[in-house]
Structure 1
């Protein structure tokens, strides 16, 4: 049985291995950066309210080997480090003389100082995909948010990865960002971890017409990469929608939802655990302090939940203790 738990300092090597499958600013493959993120993760789990501190979760297989990870940032965006994005605006232009109508996509740089919760850094080793554990790895973050609702913001943001070139570069960055910063995509992406001022200082402030870009660049704006489509589907089922905003580096779409309307936040409830044979409902069952979660079959009866004894053992709790239960739709993986 798979177990999702809070990441520990001893998970550094495993997280670096997973990061090499993704290598983004939320999950860097650099050991020194990852070690620093684990330290701030510990502080965030302990209740720190500092902005942009990611809480890291890891997924263990039945042998205790880490095979996946994900994270959640309780407060992203502040006066010191604002959230930066491009609004994607549709604009129609018509000429009476030519009797022609043109519809344009326009990018407009924006910043927000109001914090929002952000989820990201989700990686699952290929050999473990298709076994129903993606729900545990992803939705357990919403279960954690429900457990400590007061720590999180009124909206949740998810920045999805767009299609990239075969060499890992971004078509949008090559057409836009590189021309205004003189930086390569990966260099700028890593620089933005601690320094975001260069985006506001150097990016154009006026409207940018997408029709000026080549077709390859046009196609990635607001598009979801092939490897991220399953995540998009999961987010839509949770109530997330495209916000018509994109990442200014790679053009990846921003999905968002009010926190209290996210399905797994809304349906999570506290129950007393009873050690019984499996029920007929798939759910996430979690223990707190420290947070641990499994996916199993349950039977809900009022404020009690029947949970297989092996699931309680995996959570390291006994019958009669309080657990969090998040029902899953049967057709979700």
Structure 2
């Protein structure tokens, strides 16, 4: 059965093979084997620790077949941005200027480099192998993070952000980077993209602290600021449907937007509700498999399945019960996979 679960140390080989296939521009997945192992170890510790305050650790999830061991997707929640190394972003600012002598006014738009040390939580590192896209699995993999947040609310900050991938040409060129950052850091985009996952010190050393005035940039560059890569458009649409909205922040390298929502106000977090298992059916239930059912089996596990309910009492099939280590009387968490979905059918 396909499940989304917490990453394990034993997943290193399969997860490394997966992230090796991720395209450039997915910054948080540009990891060598040792740094990926470090992230997995941090995640394993995060799931096991008893403290509840956010410390910046990653919670890494993987989409895998629990029978064959095939691993085809991953996503992550970072409990806090900033800290010893700040979170860097450009803030889009506007200022009004007027000349009495010339009798003219002008609105000036600029990019101001921001350093955020005590920032919000962040979702990121979402990647699904191409042949599995288009079947709702990407949505499941993404929304499972919000089920996790609902189940462990104290582990995350009051706000949640996502850095969306900015525009990139078909040949791999990143126009925003070439127009701004590369003037001050004369290396390829792929180099800074990868290095920023190791250390951000070079940003402090090389990037200008003064505003970047958009009037000095070509129109095509200005038009691309805050726009996403075509492959990121579905992810942005999903997050907006869950309550996220664009902010005045953009990525300093590719100009992609930063979206944000108060953690408790994320639609998927709000519609994740505790339920009790009333019955386990021997056969699959009728209807669409469009409910994300989660438990703390192996720290966190979710399945995409059909359920039947009467209030907070659920009927699920035996395969889901086995995958989630549930029995009659067990507590689990249920989330309709889409905000507009009607209530679950009642048990007959």
TM-score (norm 1): 0.90
Structure-2 separation of matches of 1:331 and 1:22: 32
Cα offset, 1:256, TM superposition: 0.6
Structural mapping, 1:309-328, within 5 Å = 309-328=318-337
For 1:115 and 1:154, the matched residues in 2 are separated by: 10
Residue of structure 2 equivalent to 1:287: 295
Q: Which residue in 2 is equivalent to 1:191?
A: 195
* Aligned pairs for 1:63-82 within 5 A: 63-78=68-83, 80-82=84-86
After superposition, give the CA deviation of every residue in 1:166-217 in whole Å (9 maximum; x if it has no partner): 3434222212112223333222222222322332333222221122122342
- 2 CA distance for matches of 1:212 and 1:278? 61
Q: Distance in 1 between matches of 2:136 and 2:69?
A: 18
Q: For residues 1-333 of structure 1, what are the structure 2 equivalents within 5 Å?
A: 1-19=1-19, 20-23=21-24, 24-47=26-49, 51-61=55-65, 63-78=68-83, 80-91=84-95, 93=97, 103-273=107-277, 274-276=279-281, 278=285, 282-290=290-298, 291-329=300-338
1:267-317 C-alpha deviation (Å, 9 max, x unpaired): 212111231463657321011042100111222322211212222123233
Question: Which stretch of structure 1 is more off in the superposition, 193-202 or 3-12?
Answer: 193-202
CA distance in structure 2 between the partners assigned to 1:142 and 1:163 by the alignment: 26
Q: How many Å separate the matches in 2 of 1:202 and 1:224?
A: 25
- Supply the distance in 2 between the matched residues of 1:29 and 1:181 (Cα, whole angstroms): 21
User: Could you say what secondary structure the match of 1:75 adopts?
Assistant: coil
State how far apart, in whole Å, the 2-side matches of 1:256 and 1:55 are. Answer: 19
Q: Distance in 2 between matches of 1:64 and 1:18?
A: 13
CA distance in 1: counterparts of 2:54 and 2:291, whole angstroms: 32
Cα displacement (A) at 1:35: 1.8
Q: Between Structure 1 and Structure 2, how many residues are aligned? A: 331
Instruction: Find the residue that maps to 1:257 and give its secondary structure.
Output: strand
CA distance in 1, matches of 2:246, 2:33: 33
287-296 or 183-192, which moves further after superposition?
A: 183-192
Give secondary structure in 1 for the equivalent of 2:28: coil
Match of 2:344 in 1: none
Q: CA RMSD in A?
A: 2.4
Q: Tell me the CA shift for residue 42 of structure 1.
A: 1.3
Flag structure 1 segments of 5+ consecutive residues without an equivalent. none
- Structure 1 residue 106, shift from structure 2 partner: 1.4
TM-score, normalisation: structure 2: 0.87
